[in-house]
Amino acid sequence: MGKGWCLFFLFWPIAAVVSCAMAPWIGWSFPYDNAQAASNLGIRIDGLFYLILIVTAIVFVGTQAAIVYALWRGANNREERADCVHGNHKLELVWSIIPGVILLFLAIYQMNIWADFRIKKFYPEVAVKAPIAEVTARQFEWRFRYPAIGKKLQQKPQPDDLHSVNELHVPFGKPVMIQLRSDDVQHSFFLPALRIKQDALPGLQIPVWFEANKPGTYDLVCAELCGWGHYKMKAHVIVQPEEEYQEYLKTLTEQQFYDGLGKIAATENGSESEATEK
Amino acid sequence: MFAKKTNELMPEAAKPVKEALVKQFGNPFALTQFEGLPTKFGDVEGTVKTVEASGADQPLIRFQATGLADSYDKLQGLPLEWTSGKGQGHISRIKEYNFETGTIAVEKSAEIDPQPGDTFKVECVRLQFGRDLYNRHCMHCHGMSGEGTGPTSRYLNPPPRDFRLGIYKYTSTKSTSKAQEADLERTVKEGIAGTYMPSFKLLTEDEVSAIVNYVIWLSIRGETEKKLDDELFLDYSQEVYDERTSEEGGETREEVLEELKEFMELDFPDTLEFATDSVSEAWEEANEEDALVIPKMPRVPDTPESRERGRKLYLSQKTKCASCHGPQGRGNGTATQDFWTNPATNEKYKNRGLHDIWGNQLPPRDLHRGIYRGGRRPIDTYRRLAAGIKGTPMPAFGGSLSDEELWDLVNYVMSLPYDGNR
Ligand SMILES: [Cu+2]
């Protein structure tokens, strides 16, 4: 039976390494475009993840190899007896200091990324100056409030604000910031493709910034188990070139101030017969 | 599946009502096509390719069919009408359907004997598609047959809409018209701010229109049922029956049954036809252009003068806005302190304040909150004022106010959330 156990413990490191290596190809890895994040910060966060993955993989493969070696030797050699070693100062020091150093290294190494991601002082100035929208999480949808074209987002709603639901448009290629709120319970603003995740708390307004590096339509999901309809709490974030984004805001303005007469961009209310000029 | 009122009829009267409904609509598990409804049922034509040999003791006939691949992958329960071959004109129910292999199983019967080359059509494919989407996304609040009492409903306030009255609050149509399909599609896509109705914007256009198609079908079914119940209730409810056959009533069971039988034979078919037709027609008419509320003039510029004119109108005896919405628009007018009479039962409500026709207490909207359930475009507010809000005490002012006055009111009401008093 000893050799059976050898195979058993040999199997897991191999399976782990093979499945991790294959993950991007079979779509089990991080979302989008061959496991690459759609934001620059996201790529750096992925880098951190891979670093940790490699460190843990080396440790895992190493310890498994040691087990397999020990089992193999024991299974093949009935004469040699195992020793019971009690207390080995050197060994204890080695396995305390090495992980300690690794952890310290990781802690220092990731500080920059964390600061860029979460510490307001390090946010890109353009984004902080002009948040593009207020995002309100609500059971079970996302509501967005943009300032009127050419104006800045105000703390309180303004008469000319633009509103939409479950579809957030953001311009491409520059850092943008949103103000995150919750209307009821705790939700979480999660953009898996951009590696952005931030809890929304009732009574708080939390700034979140991100910069998409490729245009596209990305899922915005709620990452907090916020109630029965939590799994439905899904929206799209549409990253588009600046002109298209401005075009969108224009359409939204037209729709929002629609008085039932004249032409209206047929996107929102297209099926209504009044959409055509009377 | 059936309304409370149907179940309160005496059993002899309830039975034909239920049978008629099942015949015309089927039920949510086994849909049925009925001509004359403004419903997109969605027929698909197919041809028998090969028939599997089946033992004499097997209750089903299995055959492979072509022509169905593009329609929908879940056809179980739908009616299949044979259009050629021995079974021509007969209808089978699909018991099993395997989309991968194109295999259909129907119940064996003496009348049908499918042969390769026989043609048939499957009915209600689109309706079934809508039903499946409805069951996935809507049913847990709005209930299996649209009665508004799904499992989640008791946690919600305001409660989910009961579709069976065929009345929807936020429409673009005149106060006497039903909702347009586009109105319901908008509600599904945009959600209703301030309520638990979320936005389903991530569904495709096709999915949304299929859901709305099904919801309207549920409404038509519910309204037809209600009309039949109303017709029978005064004479043949269990309560009336007990009264009629009590000592004072003086009628015997046989007499009542005889009269019911006569009614069922002579009048019921017409009643049923009239009920279905009138409901269907109303739904069809709502989608016509002249059902829409369209202002005669563009929005009056949103100036302080216009708002002031609106404010005066708001406070005037002509509109009486303040009696419900309060002098400051806080939703606390004097009407909220009165006991009102339920128009359906002529009894006073248990609670003070206004009620909607579904029997729920309905506080007038606080106009300062900036939450617009029916949409936040000026045209939405215009329509709420011009055509009222269906099913609620909010009246239509389209007749009594000019367009200019309506727009002034719109400008005033829409300025309230930003007037700085907050
Ligand atoms: Cu949530």
For B260-294, write each residue's pLDDT tens digit. Answer: 999 998 899 999 999 999 999 999 999 988 899 99
- Gap between the Cα atoms of B46 and B67, Å rounded: 5
Asked if A69 and A147 sit in the same domain, the reply is: no
**In angstroms, what CA-CA distances link B55 with A161, B52, B111?**
70, 10, 17
- A103 or B422: which carries more pLDDT confidence? A103
Kindly report the nearest CA distance between residue A114 and chain B, in angstroms. Answer: 32
Residue A252 lies in a domain: yes
Q: Kindly state whether residues A134 and A113 are assigned to the same domain.
A: no
Strand B119-122, strand B44-51: pairing: antiparallel
Q: Which residue has the tokens 């989640």?
A: B152
A169 and A216 co-located in one domain? yes
pLDDT band at residue A34 under the 50/70/90 scheme: low
The beta-carbon neighbor of B292 closest among A163, A166, A273 is: A273
pLDDT at A272 over 80: no
A67-81, B40-54, B380-394: least confidently modelled range: A67-81
Which residue in B140, B378, B415 is closest to A258 by CB distance? B378
CA of residue A140 to ligand 1 center, whole Å: 6
Confidence band of A278 (pLDDT split at 50, 70, 90): very low
Which pLDDT band holds residue A1 (cuts at 50, 70, 90)?
low
Which structure tokens are listed for A240? 């588009």
* Residue A251 included in any domain: yes
Q: How many CB pairs under 8 A join A and B?
A: 81
Residue-level pLDDT at A2: 72
What percentage of chain B exceeds 90 in pLDDT? Answer: 64
Q: How far is the CA of A141 from the centre of ligand 1 (A)?
A: 8
Q: pLDDT (tens digit, 9 = 90+) per residue, A178-219?
A: 999 999 999 999 999 999 999 999 999 999 999 998 899 999
Tell me the chain B residues in contact with residue A257 when contact means C-beta distances shorter than 8 Å. 377-378
Overall average pLDDT of the A90-115 stretch: 93
In a domain, A153, yes or no: yes
Structure tokens that stand for B172 in this block? 């673009």
Q: What is the DSSP letter of A212?
A: B
Please state the rounded mean pLDDT for residues A117-145: 92
Q: What is the mean pLDDT of chain B?
A: 91
Residues A150 and A96 in one domain: no
Q: What residues of B are in contact with residue A256 (Cβ under 8 Å)?
A: 376-377
In angstroms, rounded to a whole number, what is the distance separating the alpha carbons of residues B61 and B82?
14
At residue B117, what are phi and psi to the nearest 5 degrees?
A: 100, -20
User: Does some domain include residue A278?
Assistant: no
- For B65-104, how does the pLDDT look when each residue is reduced to its tens digit (9 = 90+)? 999 988 899 999 999 999 998 889 899 999 999 999 999 9
Q: Per the CB < 8 Å rule, is A141 touching B198?
A: yes
* Average pLDDT of span A32-54: 86
Determine contact, residues B268/B16, Cβ cutoff 8 Å.
yes
Residues of chain B with C-beta less than 8 angstroms from the C-beta of A138: 198
Contacts of A52 (CB under 8 A, 6+ apart): A106
Give percent of chain B with pLDDT exceeding 70. 99
Backbone angles phi, psi at B219, to 5 degrees: -60, -45
Give the one of B191, B298, B383 whose C-beta lies nearest to A165's C-beta. B191
Q: Give bridge partners of residue A235 from the DSSP assignment.
A: A220
pLDDT reported for residue A274: 42
Q: Name the residue in chain B with its Cα closest to that of A166.
A: B201
Structural domain count, chain A = 2
Element (H, E) at A217: strand A216-222
Of residues A244 and B289, more confidence is placed in A244
As a whole-number percent, the residues of chain A with pLDDT over 70 amount to 92
> Which residue in this structure is represented by tokens 């009696």?
B323
From CA A187, how far away is CA A224, in angstroms rounded? 5
Cross-chain CB nearest to B198 (options A159, A232, A269): A232
Residue A169 contacts residue A240 (beta carbons within 8 Å): yes
Is A61 in the same domain as A157?
Answer: no
> What are the chain B neighbours of A272 within 8 Å (beta carbons)?
172, 180, 182, 292
Distance of alpha carbon A132 from alpha carbon A212, whole angstroms: 14
Same domain (yes/no): A100, A134: no
CA distance B316 to chain A (A): 25
Q: Is the predicted pLDDT of residue B248 greater than 90, yes or no?
A: no
Q: Using a CB-CB distance cutoff of 8 angstroms, which residues of chain B are in contact with residue A273?
A: 182, 289, 292
Cα A234 to ligand 1 centre (Å): 9
**Res A265: pLDDT:** 37
Phi-psi region of A251 (alpha: psi -120 to 50; beta: other; left: phi over 0): alpha
**Does residue A33 carry a pLDDT above 80?**
no
Mean pLDDT of B355-373: 90
**Could you say which of B185, B202, B298 has the minimum Cβ distance to residue A259?**
B298
Which contiguous run of DSSP H or E holds residue A266? helix A266-269
Residue type, A157: P
Confidence of residue B420 (pLDDT cuts 50, 70, 90): low
pLDDT at A84: 84
Q: How far apart are the first and last CA of chain B?
A: 47
A 10 A CB-CB count for B337 gives: 9
Amino acid at residue number A248: Y
* Cα–Cα distance, B398 to B409 (Å, whole number): 12
Instruction: Measure A137 CA to ligand 1 centroid, in angstroms.
Output: 7
Positive or negative: CA dihedral B20, B23, B29, B34: negative
The CA–CA distances, whole Å, from B111 to A10, B23, B91, B191, B328 equal: 66, 20, 10, 49, 73
What is the maximum alpha-carbon separation in chain B?
86
Task: Please report the pLDDT score of residue B222 as a whole number.
Answer: 94
pLDDT of residue B141: 93
Cα dist from B275 to A212, B25, B281, B343, B397, whole Å: 57, 13, 10, 22, 30
Are A161 and A235 contained in the same domain? yes
Is residue A151 located within the same domain as residue A40?
no
Does A49 map to a domain? yes
State pTM to two decimals: 0.89
- Given a cut of 90, whether residue A228 has pLDDT beyond it is no
Q: State whether A117 and A131 are in the same domain.
A: no
Which residues make beta-bridge pairs with A222? A189
Candidate from B289, B370, B415 with C-beta closest to A273: B289
Note the pLDDT of residue B410: 95
* Inter-chain touch A261–B298, beta carbons under 8 Å: yes
CATH number at residue A227: 2.60.40.420
Q: Quick one: A213 and A115 in the same domain?
A: no
Taking the CA atoms of B294, B296, B298 and B304 in sequence, report the sign of the dihedral they define: negative
Distance A226 CA to ligand 1 centre (A): 4
Distance A185 CA to ligand 1 centre (A): 8
Q: Which residue has the higher pLDDT, B165 or A74?
A: B165
Task: Determine the structural domain holding residue A23 and report its residue range.
Answer: 3-75+92-121
Q: Is residue A81 part of a domain?
A: no
Q: Is residue A37 part of a domain?
A: yes
- Which phi and psi angles does B4 have, rounded to 5°? -60, -40
Chain B interface disruption, residue of A185, A255, A271, most B CBs within 10 A = A271
Chain segment B387-418, per-residue pLDDT in tens = 999 999 999 999 899 999 999 999 999 999 98
Distance A221 CA to ligand 1 centre (A): 8
B199: chain A residues, CB-CB within 8 Å: 141, 165-166
* pLDDT of residue B144 exceeding 60: yes
Q: Mapped to the 3 state alphabet, what secondary structure does chain B carry?
A: CCCHHHHCECHHHHHHHHHHHHHHHEECCEECCCCCCCCCCCCEEEEEEEECCCCCCCCEEEEEEECCCCCCCCCCCCEEEECCCCCCCCEEEEEEEECCCCEEEEECCCCCCCCCCCEEEECCHHHHHHHHHHHHHCHHHHCCCCCCCCCCHHHCCCCCCCHHHCCCCCCCECCCCCCCHHHHHHHHHHCCCCCCCCCCCCCCHHHHHHHHHHHHHHHHHHHHHHHHHHHHHHHHEHHHHHHHCCCCCCCCHHHHHHHHHHHHHHCHHHHHHHHHHHHHHHHHHHCCHHHECCCCCCCCCCCHHHHHHHHHHHHCCCCCHHHHHCCCCCCCCHHHHCEEECCCCCCEEEEECCECCCCCECCCCCCCCCCCCCCCCHHHHHHHHHHCCCCCCCCCCCCCCCHHHHHHHHHHHHHHHHCCCC
Q: Is A277 on the interface with B (CB under 8 A)?
A: no
Cβ of A261 within 8 Å of Cβ of B185? The answer is no
Could you give the CA distance from residue B418 to residue B422 in angstroms, rounded to a whole number?
8
Shared-domain flag, residues A103 and A160: no
CA of A181 to the centre of ligand 1 (A): 11
Which residues have a beta carbon within 5 Å of ligand 1, which is an ion?
A 187, 222, 226, 233
- Residue A268, pLDDT > 70, answer no
* Tokens at A102, concatenated: 């690794």
- pLDDT score for A37: 86
CB contact under 8 A, B298 and A159: no
Which of B199, B376, B383 is closest, CB to CB, to A141? Answer: B199
Cβ contact, residue pair B383, A260, below 8 Å: yes
Residues A146 and A229 in one domain: yes
- Partner-chain contact A165 B199, CB within 8 Å: yes
- Listing DSSP states for A116-148 in one string gives HHH-GGGS-HHHHHS--EEEEEETTEEEEEEPP
Residue A263: per-residue pLDDT:
57
Contact A230/B at CB under 8 A: no
Tell me if A29 is assigned to some domain: yes
Report yes or no: A172 and A206 within 8 Å, Cβ to Cβ.
no
- Alpha-carbon distance A2 to A70, whole Å? 10
Q: Given A232, A256, A272, which is nearest B182 (Cβ)?
A: A272
| Chain B CA closest to residue A161 | B376
